């Protein structure tokens, strides 16, 4: 990912903020494509909540 340098020559990257922005974008795209309101299950699917739950259930050594 390229980040435009700020005045003064330093680049700023906030990986958490960038991930949140990407998830918000995914949610906006899903909502705009849906005919009705998104269900909680669909929101979880878009935000990949089950992936995080599965990883948490497997524990830290599951890599």
pLDDT tens track for 17-29: 899 999 999 999 9
At 26 the three-state DSSP class reads helix
First to last CA, the chain: 25
pLDDT band at 50 (very low <50, low <70, confident <90, very high): confident
Name which of 37, 39, 36 is nearest 49 in CA terms. 39
Average pLDDT over residues 37-55: 84
The three-state secondary structure class of 20 is helix
Predicted structure pTM score: 0.60
Residue 51 has pLDDT above 60, yes or no: yes
> What SS3 state is found at 47?
coil
């Amino acid at each position: 990912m390229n980040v435009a340098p700020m005045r003064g020559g330093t680049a700023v990257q906030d990986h958490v903020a960038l991930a949140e922005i990407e998830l918000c974008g995914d949610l906006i795209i899903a909502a705009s494509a849906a005919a009705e309101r998104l269900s909680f299950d669909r929101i979880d699917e878009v935000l990949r909540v089950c992936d995080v739950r599965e990883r948490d259930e497997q524990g830290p050594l599951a890599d």
